[in-house]
């Protein structure tokens, strides 16, 4: 979808001329300071020069986390920004706050996601921004990622579909993006799209589904541009009947809106529901050997 009154060529020209990228990153006091330092460091060593860090502190932070902010960010010239919430309100609220602040800066043409414990490869932004310049019809682009539990040791190389139509079908059962790899054009948010803070989970999937239904085109760069940290509790956080039902309802709603809901989908959704409420060890086994969650 193109903003009213603009064609693809004009958008590409604007992006090429004003290609500052705001990296949106949220952190809370429970974050690991060493991992946070690695995450920030990986953005500070990007080969893409016109990068700015926009960090939201979701409530008061610990002293080690504050130390990372002071050491790593360029706060004196206003290039990097730190915004603070008086109390923890969750990731969607933090990201929306950063998006609104970035929109107030005309030079920012792209907004990139990053988590407080992952590691971006040095060429990540250069590759993704280059892709968006070369593909003016694409509004959001992610990438493949490497899952890891121990530094430098890959647990799994996670590949996703690359092209829009493949991703639109893939979304019937899975998320089309590795969330911390996504870069979006400014015009997505100028049209009012935001993360839904009323959702307790899958806020990213909800946003992607609304973008696809709304006519925006999405893609993935087929390169491993981020190391995704698999923390303890990763599987436990994705368990429970309430989450499972919410997830299935969200996927059915997308399938209906995309006019792709078929009887066979319900069989897959039933399997997904059973998998989500299975014991953690079962889901770990399936994830490790079948990669089906």
Residue 126 lies in a domain: yes
Q: So what's the pLDDT on residue 36?
A: 98
In-domain check, residue 2 = no
Backbone angles phi, psi at 23, to 5 degrees: -90, 115
d(CA 140, CA 188): 8
Q: What's the sign of the alpha-carbon dihedral 210, 168, 179, 9?
A: negative
Domain count along the chain:
2
In this prediction, residue 284 carries a pLDDT of 64
Residues 216 and 239 in one domain: no
In a shared domain, residues 219 and 269: no
pLDDT for res 9: 40
**Does 127 map to a domain?**
yes
Place of tokens 């953005």: 43
Report the chain (293 residues): mean pLDDT per 10 consecutive residues.
Answer: 40 54 98 98 96 97 98 90 96 98 96 98 98 98 96 93 98 96 98 95 96 98 97 61 86 96 88 76 58 44
By the 8 A CB rule, do 145 and 227 touch?
yes
Q: Which of 220, 110, 215, 221 is nearest to 174 (CA)?
A: 220
Q: Do 207 and 114 belong together in one domain?
A: yes
240: containing domain = 233-293
């Amino acid at each position: 979808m193109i903003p009213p009154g603009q064609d693809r060529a004009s958008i590409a020209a604007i992006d090429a001329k004003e290609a500052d990228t705001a990296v949106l990153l949220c952190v809370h006091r429970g974050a690991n300071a060493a991992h946070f330092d690695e995450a920030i460091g990986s953005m500070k060593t990007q080969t893409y020069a016109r990068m700015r860090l926009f960090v939201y502190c979701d409530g008061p932070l610990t002293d080690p986390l504050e130390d990372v902010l002071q050491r790593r960010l360029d706060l004196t010239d206003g290039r990097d920004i730190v915004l603070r919430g008086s109390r923890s309100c969750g990731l969607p609220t933090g990201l929306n706050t950063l998006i609104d602040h970035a929109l107030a800066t005309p030079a920012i043409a792209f907004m990139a996601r990053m988590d407080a414990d992952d590691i971006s490869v040095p060429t990540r932004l250069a590759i993704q921004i280059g892709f968006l310049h070369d593909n003016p019809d694409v509004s959001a682009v992610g990438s493949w990622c490497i899952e890891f539990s121990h530094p430098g040791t890959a647990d799994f190389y996670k590949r996703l579909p690359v092209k829009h139509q493949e991703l639109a079908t893939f979304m019937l059962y899975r998320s089309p993006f590795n969330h911390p790899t996504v870069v979006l054009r400014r015009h997505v948010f100028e049209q009012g799209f935001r993360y839904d803070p009323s959702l307790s989970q899958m806020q990213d999937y909800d946003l992607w589904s609304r973008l696809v239904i709304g006519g925006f085109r999405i893609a993935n760069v087929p390169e491993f541009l981020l190391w995704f940290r698999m923390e303890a509790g990763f599987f436990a956080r994705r368990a429970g009947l309430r989450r499972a039902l919410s997830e299935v309802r969200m996927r059915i709603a997308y399938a209906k809106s995309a006019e792709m809901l078929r009887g066979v989908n319900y069989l897959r959704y039933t399997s997904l529901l059973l998998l989500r409420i299975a014991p953690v060890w079962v889901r770990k086994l399936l994830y490790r050997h079948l990669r089906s969650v």
